[in-house]
């Protein structure tokens, strides 16, 4: 047996329909097997808070080995995992096809699935994961919802912390009275027929975040692609289920996957590529869904046809050539490589795309932002999220860039909070966004 695998990591389908998947004795046996290997390796000590918690449990135990750690204490390790996949993708030498067959994130997912089956998932987290319902409820009262969720509104944020366990200092996504789908129906874009990529067609999967919380990403994407000769349609059958995955609701994810994939199949068969607006959603469509429902042919087809935004623009640049008209930005860009973009195993496409902009320095921030989706806004996790993201925020600040970009928009906003802690004056001169928004700005398509 080799000490570590030199082969590309592979993942097994998630056997969540097998009763053994929920057997607590078998789960504990697998937890102890994996945790013991992690204890002997410790390469992941600086990735997130799960591993320091695990190693502290072992080091503080009677024997300083896993055998004297109570299984009840494993929950703190599981609760700290954000399913970022970085241990699996970048650090662990024992992932399959190695004989040790480690998949730490999916083991944490199994633990949460068992909790879900036993009814031990938390009410607030479960309700927050219903993103489509929440978006529809907030849409008619977007102004009021955004006022209530402002960090400066101490009264309402204090109530939210007490009732919903959402930390009162955590920056929260905004809502819009007009969704991306509605905006696209009311606003036409003119396709540039002289562009080298003319003839391409894309169905843009809006995602719940892009549809309800940040339509500007989708608007910028439509404008950039139209300028590059690409016909676009905005499509949104429903959420990808990443928030449900975080809660261990595999049945809910499978249900969403079947609905979305069925509708997107029609677009694929009509010659459209599929483009996801948020890196987490692209990861779900490309990799997680086929592991959860491996027998679904719609998902297999969708997985091969899906692109991340940056990945797609870079593909155009390499194959047909990018359309003319890019001008330098007013200063450099600090480009954060989000975990779920990295987990797609496509390379640093966000940085590649931004380097298409002439005379614009792109400084890469490779460390985790610490946000972890809804995980980082919760009262019990917010301080830890800032701690995990401290180095990334420090590097972004050190770059001196006025623009903080990330393919995970929540990560970009979280980095601003980390920068604010380190330099309250400097943060006032910075703005966060998706790299496609900066490309639209460089084209002069947006302000």
DSSP letters for 227-285: HTT-EEEEE-SS--SHHHHHTT-HHHHHHHHHHHHHHHHHHHHTT-EEEESSHHHHHII
Same domain, 60 and 151: no
pLDDT confidence of residue 373: 80
Same domain, 28 and 101: yes
Range 82-90 average pLDDT: 90
Burial class (CB in 10 A: 0-12, 13-18, 19+), 97: exposed
Same domain, 186 and 299: yes
95 neighbors 102 (Cβ within 8 angstroms): yes
Residue 14 lies in a domain: no
Query: Where does the pLDDT of residue 97 fall: very low under 50, low under 70, confident under 90, or very high at 90 and above?
Result: very high
246 neighbors 83 (Cβ within 8 angstroms): yes
Range 45-73 average pLDDT: 94
What gap in Å lies between CA 170 and CA 317, rounded to an integer? 38
Same domain, 244 and 270: yes
Range 369-386 average pLDDT: 90
Same domain, 246 and 278: yes
Q: Which of 1-5, 128-132, 208-212, 377-381 has the lowest mean pLDDT?
A: 1-5
Give the pTM.
0.92
Same domain, 140 and 200: no
* CATH code at position 244: 1.20.1050
What gap in Å lies between CA 145 and CA 173, rounded to an integer? 10
Same domain, 202 and 130: no
Tokens describing residue 91: 């650090």
Residue 300 lies in a domain: yes
Range 76-101 average pLDDT: 92
Residue 404 lies in a domain: yes
Query: Where does the pLDDT of residue 8 fall: very low under 50, low under 70, confident under 90, or very high at 90 and above?
Result: confident
Same domain, 417 and 298: no
What gap in Å lies between CA 122 and CA 72, rounded to an integer? 17
216 closest CA partner among 444, 435, 442, 443: 435
Domain extent for 159: 123-164
Residue 447 lies in a domain: no
pLDDT confidence of residue 121: 86
Residue 9 lies in a domain: no
89 neighbors 8 (Cβ within 8 angstroms): no
Same domain, 380 and 261: no
pLDDT (tens digit, 9 = 90+) per residue, 106-152? 999 999 999 999 999 888 888 889 999 999 999 999 999 999 999 99
pLDDT confidence of residue 4: 56
Query: Where does the pLDDT of residue 3 fall: very low under 50, low under 70, confident under 90, or very high at 90 and above?
Result: low
Strand order in the sheet with 403-406: 362-365, 333-336, 403-406, 431-433
Tokens describing residue 114: 């068992």
Q: How far apart are the first and last CA of the chain?
A: 58
pLDDT (tens digit, 9 = 90+) per residue, 281-313? 999 999 999 999 999 999 999 999 999 999 999
Query: Where does the pLDDT of residue 367 fall: very low under 50, low under 70, confident under 90, or very high at 90 and above?
Result: confident
Among 300, 318, 336, give the residue marking a domain's end.
318
What gap in Å lies between CA 257 and CA 311, rounded to an integer? 22
Same domain, 308 and 188: yes
Q: Provide the mean pLDDT of the chain.
A: 94
Residue 372 lies in a domain: yes
What gap in Å lies between CA 136 and CA 217, rounded to an integer? 19
Residue 11 lies in a domain: no
Among 318, 335, 368, give the residue marking a domain's end.
318
Query: Where does the pLDDT of residue 262 fall: very low under 50, low under 70, confident under 90, or very high at 90 and above?
Result: very high
Look-up of token digits 């997130």: 48
Same domain, 310 and 358: no
pLDDT (tens digit, 9 = 90+) per residue, 402-428? 999 999 988 999 999 999 999 999 999
- Domain count of the fold of the chain: 4
229 neighbors 192 (Cβ within 8 angstroms): yes
Residue 170 lies in a domain: no
Among 102, 137, 164, give the residue marking a domain's end.
164
Query: Where does the pLDDT of residue 90 fall: very low under 50, low under 70, confident under 90, or very high at 90 and above?
Result: confident
Same domain, 152 and 72: no
């Amino acid at each position: 047996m080799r000490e570590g695998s030199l082969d590309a990591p592979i993942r097994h389908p998630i056997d969540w329909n097998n009763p053994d998947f929920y057997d607590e004795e078998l789960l504990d046996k697998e937890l102890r097997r994996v945790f013991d290997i992690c204890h002997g390796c410790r390469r992941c000590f600086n990735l997130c808070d799960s591993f320091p918690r695990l190693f502290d449990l072992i080091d503080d135990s009677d024997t300083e080995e896993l055998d004297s750690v109570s299984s009840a204490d494993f929950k703190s390790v599981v609760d700290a995992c954000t399913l970022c996949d970085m241990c699996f993708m970048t650090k662990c030498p024992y992932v399959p096809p190695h004989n040790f067959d480690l998949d730490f994130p999916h083991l944490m997912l199994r633990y949460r699935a068992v909790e879900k089956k036993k009814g031990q998932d938390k009410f607030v987290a479960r309700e927050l994961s219903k993103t489509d319902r929440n978006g529809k409820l907030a849409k008619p009262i977007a102004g009021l919802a955004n006022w209530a969720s402002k960090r400066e509104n101490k009264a309402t944020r204090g109530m939210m912390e007490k009732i919903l366990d959402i930390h009162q200092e955590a920056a929260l996504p905004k809502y819009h009275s007009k969704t991306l789908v509605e905006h696209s129906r009311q606003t036409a874009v003119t396709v540039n027929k002289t562009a080298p990529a003319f003839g391409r067609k894309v169905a843009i999967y809006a995602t719940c975040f892009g549809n309800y919380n940040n339509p500007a990403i989708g608007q910028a994407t439509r404008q950039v692609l139209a300028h590059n000769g690409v016909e676009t349609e905005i499509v949104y059958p429903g959420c990808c289920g990443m928030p449900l995955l975080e809660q261990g609701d595999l049945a809910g994810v499978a249900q969403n996957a079947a609905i979305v994939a069925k509708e997107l199949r029609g677009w694929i068969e009509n010659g459209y590529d599929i483009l996801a607006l948020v890196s987490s959603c692209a990861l779900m469509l490309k990799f997680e869904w086929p592991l959860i429902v491996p027998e679904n042919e719609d998902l297999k087809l969708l997985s091969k046809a899906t692109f991340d935004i940056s990945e797609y623009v870079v593909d155009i640049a390499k194959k047909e050539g990018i359309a003319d008209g890019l001008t330098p930005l007013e200063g450099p860009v600090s480009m954060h490589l989000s975990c779920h973009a990295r987990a797609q195993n496509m390379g640093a496409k966000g940085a590649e795309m931004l380097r298409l902009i002439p005379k614009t320095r792109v400084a890469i921030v490779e460390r985790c932002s610490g946000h972890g989706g809804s995980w980082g806004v919760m009262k019990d996790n917010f301080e830890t999220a800032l701690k995990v993201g401290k180095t990334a925020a420090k590097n972004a600040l050190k770059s001196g860039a006025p623009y903080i970009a990330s393919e995970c928009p929540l990560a970009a906003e979280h980095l601003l909070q980390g920068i604010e802690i380190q330099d309250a004056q400097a943060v006032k001169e910075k703005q966060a966004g998706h790299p496609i928004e900066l490309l639209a700005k460089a084209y002069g398509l947006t302000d």
